[in-house]
Structure 1
Amino acid sequence: MGFEHVAGVGTRVWRWSRTSGTQPRLLHAGKAAFAACLAWFIARHVPGVASDYPYYAPLGAVVAMQTTVFAGLRSGIQTLVGIGLGIVIAGFTMWIGDPGFIAIALAVGIGVLVGGFRILGEGSSWVSTAALFVLLVGGAHAEGYSLGYLVQMAVGVAVGLLVNFLVFPPLRFWDAEHRIDAVNEVLADHLDGLAAVLEADERDEKAWDRQQDRLDRAIADVRSRVSIAHESRKLNPRGALRGSRARLQQDGARFRALERAAWYTTDLTELVARSGPVSDGLGRPDPAFAEPLAKAFRELACMIRGECPESAGDDAIAEVERALDASKEDPSHVAVTSAALVSLRGIVESERRATEDLDTSTGPSAFGHRRDVRR
């Protein structure tokens, strides 16, 4: 019993460290520390004037140690280009006159202007920084300092890229999959909240602005994570592993389906929680349909969490359709309810696509960890 308890705690700690991002952060920190030390060792043996400035090599290693191999290559190249431009700008200002207030102002001003080009990316901030270093630190030895600065940064970037490429090059699939699951929970909570609004017939537009903002931020976060997962496969030897491409395509398909579901949920929010009556009964669902709509929202939330079979969503929508068919209300009174019905159907279809041919052995399930219900 004691061993099983310890093993259970160990399993929970392991899962927490993975889902919270602690594992990849620890690995990334260890690799960065090793790359910086290795760069420092190599930099002290670089021949020529560059050996006088070995402290820039660890800095270059840290610059290149990004979350993906491709991002590290991009960051390293952009940084070196930015430093090179900064050196040129510093040389130009020194050619005008001795370093002073005017030279510093010119170096910073021109550096900021040049750094404004988006193509420089992360190298943009290095333009003015490098120009200032050459002027203020290099001083009378600006030529030798500039060469040493650029060479040692290049050495560090090369070391950082090599370490990131050879030592467990990161693949960011798990993080994207976990975030997709988290957004499904946000989506389910959102639908439960809409059901509560219908049941209580109380609307707080500011509260729903905050709730909608939460959903929008969650979707934007997942979009970023999926993009990083795609990028992590570029120039990555582990990207050639069996199933990695299929897994990446599947995560992308899941996210696109989830994004569509979020769009439909936003429409429902406007209809149920935020919109006021435009005219008699128009602008929000008719009160006569509040009960079946609220039930449908609850069923869809249950389905998204994986606690109910997918058929539950279809059954709930069918009940709303029957209520509409049996209604003798004026058509203008049921128009918004019909629009809500379209959004409900869109959510069901989107979620169905999100779980189609899901390979649960490669990551979390689309609707959480309870996919053992019968369809």
Structure 2
Amino acid sequence: MKLKALIVPTLLVGILAACGADEEAEEPKKEAETEQTAGQSTVAQPEEKTDAVATASITDDPAVFAKALSEEGNWIVAATKDLTLDEELVVNGEFHDKGEAANPIYRKLALYTQDEQRNVTGTFTLTVPKIIVQSENFTIVNGTVKGDVIVEAKGFTLKENTTIDGNLFFANEEAKETAVVEGTVTGVGPESGVEDVVSSASIVYDEDALIKAASKEGNWIFTILGDLTLDKELVVAGEFYNKNDKAQGIYRKLGLYSQDGERNVKAAYTLTVPKLTVQSENFKIQNGTVKGDVYVETNGFTLAKDTTIDGNVYFASEEFQKSAVIEGTITGAQEVK
């Protein structure tokens, strides 16, 4: 890996070493000497910093960092300090170990620096609303990700001494079964035992996924992972059973929140929708806010406590209204219509 020498020598050695923390045959000291003998300046030049680090995927700039993890980025990305991103981070594209097509598919996020002997000299925190992992065999090494991580691709690895200060979700069974979690997950994770929030097909974070999850082709429970706005009507349809077990009775649930392993709510979200139509019997909305009107066309609708409908609730019949359980708040009307 070749770098323009625009970073002070001590930082350069640490970062180059970080790029090869669990790779073979890396020689960070030799790389640094090569740049110096080329006659280039080793004095930091902030005005050229972005160009210098973009190609090497070593950066302290949030925008450059996000691009480096996109399909236009590199196989390895390293932070040089704590970083905060205001928007979700999508890790996508296919990459190979050391950038060589002949090597296995692999990608790495390094949240640390180290010396020439590969001793870790500093670890960093990446604060982000959520990370969506679409690159196969993506590994996070050292440091902390403060936010939720949603894994859609196989081969995800959370290395030892690495923390996700948030929830770890898998979008499908293959992603979950092929993951290696050696580090720590403070919230919901593969060992948390919180079945209803980690159900593989129920975790959604965009409009199309939510519409499908709510349909008769979806699951008994579906959960959004952040505020979400729909431009079209959301229809909750189909018959489902609690935890997909018929013995537990007909039941369906929309979770507008995330929680930790002890089921303490960590965040509540707002679903903004022009119209939400409920056709699934015994449907429950829990925590968070639905901003829009709700039309109930079946029995057993429940609005849990600490849950708000910022709009009106219309029942298709008196029977449906009488069978409803309203523990939360409805800002508008409640009537048969």
Report the TM-score, using the length of structure 2 for normalisation.
Answer: 0.25
Richer in strand (by share)? 2
Report the TM-score, using the length of structure 1 for normalisation.
Answer: 0.23
Richer in helix (by share)? 1
Query: Larger relative contact order (C-alpha < 8 A, sep ≥ 6)?
Result: 1
Larger-gyration structure (1/2): 1
